[in-house]
Amino acid sequence: MTKASTSTHKCFALVLSGGGARGLSHAGVLRALIARGYIPSAVVGVSMGAVVGATYALNDKWYDALVGMDTSGFPATPDFRVPGMAARIREMRLALLAARDMYFGWGSGARTETWGRSVLSGLTKGKNLQDGRIPAFVCATDMLSGQRVVFGKGDATDYVYSSAALAGILPPLVDDPYVLMDGAYSDIAPVDVARATGAEVVIAVDPSQRENATGPKNGLQAMMRSIEVCQYEHARLRFEQADFVIRPAFSQTIGTLEFRQKRHCIAAGAVATRRAYNDISMLLAP
């Protein structure tokens, strides 16, 4: 097991933000940092950042687990560009079923919540957050108060799930007195949580795509993209509070639920980190 060390560099904490599928770039960032000998003293995650951060802290085989993560249970995104009348009717039916589920229940995630929890339990080895190789914190949003809630102890499966529970896709986690959903709604980059761990330096990772080469093709994509756009100004202010921000660059537009691009996202995180080695070296020099 890799131990956090400050013998060769300053103590630093990582803030891993959301981004859906693009958030898997965090795995590439972590691997590239560790390959250079930079071991974080703590990790703070939001949404997909919570999934990656908790997996790193709790699973010795964290990288392989994330690369091989089962994403088959995520809702399919209707594609009305498919050729043929029969195919288009099939996609229309998929869209109508998704709309029905969101209106009368918790969306397509109501059918996949059990699957999702199973995946998260496997990634985090069924452990508690406080049992990791380094302190791990995940942030969720209380839908009653609208406030950020931070967890550093307790069942990792529950609290990572709550941090990544997208509205309209997955049901919230009811954890009295909270009703918890995706942490990015209240704080996309909780830099203050990372500083509170006592780290000398805070490095954040921002896998957002401010500009899309192609527009949304359906209502679900439009909904997810609108949430991202609404977060931009708040995100800018939050990321400015970090000492350094790693921003993976993606060669194509990658939607929140396009997990078929996960290897591309992981690679983008590694490349962005390698390109920042000189800056990181100066920042972390003892």
47 has catalytic annotation: yes
In the chain, % of residues over pLDDT 90: 63
At position 272, the amino acid (one-letter code) is A
182 has catalytic annotation: yes
Are 178 and 144 contacting, i.e. CB atoms less than 8 angstroms apart? yes
Determine, yes or no, domain membership for 87: yes
Determine, yes or no, domain membership for 59: yes
Q: Of 5, 36, 94, 4, nearest to 246 (Cα)?
A: 36
At position 165, the amino acid (one-letter code) is A
Q: What is the residue whose two structure tokens read 């929140």?
A: 256
Say if residue 121 is exposed, middle or buried (CB neighbours under 10 Å; 0-12, 13-18, 19+).
middle
pLDDT of 221 > 70? The answer is no
Residue 198: per-residue pLDDT? 97
At position 187, the amino acid (one-letter code) is D
Distance of CA 183 to the CA centre of its chain: 9
Determine, yes or no, domain membership for 82: yes
Q: Which of 142, 182, 187, 243 is catalytic?
A: 182
More confident position, 124 or 252: 124
Rounded mean pLDDT, 207-223: 66
Residue 68: per-residue pLDDT? 95
Determine, yes or no, domain membership for 201: yes
Q: Among 23-37, 187-201, 219-233, where is mean pLDDT lowest?
A: 219-233
Rounded CA-CA distance 14/5 in Å is 14
Q: How confident is the model at residue 55 (pLDDT cuts 50, 70, 90)?
A: very high
Rounded CA-CA distance 229/278 in Å is 31
Q: What is the pLDDT of residues 114-163, one digit of tens each?
A: 888 999 999 999 999 999 999 999 999 999 999 999 999 999 999 999 99
Q: Which of 17, 41, 47, 163 is catalytic?
A: 47
Q: What is the residue whose two structure tokens read 């000189």?
A: 278
pLDDT of 6 > 50? The answer is no
Residue 83: per-residue pLDDT? 57
Residue 38: per-residue pLDDT? 97
Residue 197: per-residue pLDDT? 98
More confident position, 196 or 166: 196
Q: What is the pLDDT of residues 68-123, one digit of tens each?
A: 999 877 655 545 454 555 655 554 555 444 544 543 344 555 566 788 899 999 99
Kindly report the average pLDDT of the chain as a whole number: 85
Q: Of 226, 225, 115, nearest to 170 (Cα)?
A: 115
Rounded CA-CA distance 99/80 in Å is 15
CATH number at residue 114: 3.40.1090.10
Residue 258: per-residue pLDDT? 86
Rounded CA-CA distance 278/285 in Å is 11
Rounded mean pLDDT, 12-19: 97
Rounded CA-CA distance 76/259 in Å is 10
Determine, yes or no, domain membership for 6: no
Enclosing domain of residue 196: 12-284
Determine, yes or no, domain membership for 228: yes
Q: What is the pLDDT of residues 164-187, one digit of tens each?
A: 998 877 889 999 999 999 999 999
What number of other Cβ atoms are within 10 A of residue 152's Cβ? Answer: 18
> The pTM is what?
0.84
Are 59 and 69 contacting, i.e. CB atoms less than 8 angstroms apart? no
Are 171 and 110 contacting, i.e. CB atoms less than 8 angstroms apart? yes
Determine, yes or no, domain membership for 2: no
Q: How many domains does the chain have?
A: 1
Residue 235: per-residue pLDDT? 83
Determine, yes or no, domain membership for 255: yes
Rounded CA-CA distance 166/152 in Å is 21
